[in-house]
Amino acid sequence: MRALKLKGKVDEAGKLIVDTDIDLSPGEVEVIVLRASQAEEANSLSTTLAAQDVDRLPMKASFEEFSAWMLEGLSSVPQNFDSEEARWQYLKGKHHL
């Protein structure tokens, strides 16, 4: 199976319109439609940023803030945790030993 990502529009009659030529032989295709919410549409960039433009984007969080956010809510590993025993228990269950 081959996947293609295309942009299209839905007209007033509810018909899907895709204005892109695709390199596929004639036949049936399966279509998955993802609709952006109004908030996503309002916040999305309408143009593709060039590589040099990325450096000029405002930084919203520092690395320390980001790493703290990623670790938020995680519990620490107990001192007596045996990783080899945990691995063995996982493999026994996986392979029905």
Note the pLDDT tens digit of each residue in 22-38: 778 888 888 888 777 66
Query: CA–CA separation, 33 vs 82, rounded Å?
Result: 46
* CA 3 – CA 21 distance, rounded (Å): 15
Q: Is the predicted pLDDT of residue 55 greater than 60, yes or no?
A: no
Q: What is the pLDDT of residue 29?
A: 83
- pLDDT over 60 (residue 68): yes
- pLDDT confidence of 88, banded at 50, 70, 90? very high
Q: Which two tokens stand for residue 74?
A: 């995680």
H helix and E strand count, the chain: 4, 2
| Span 43-69, average pLDDT | 62
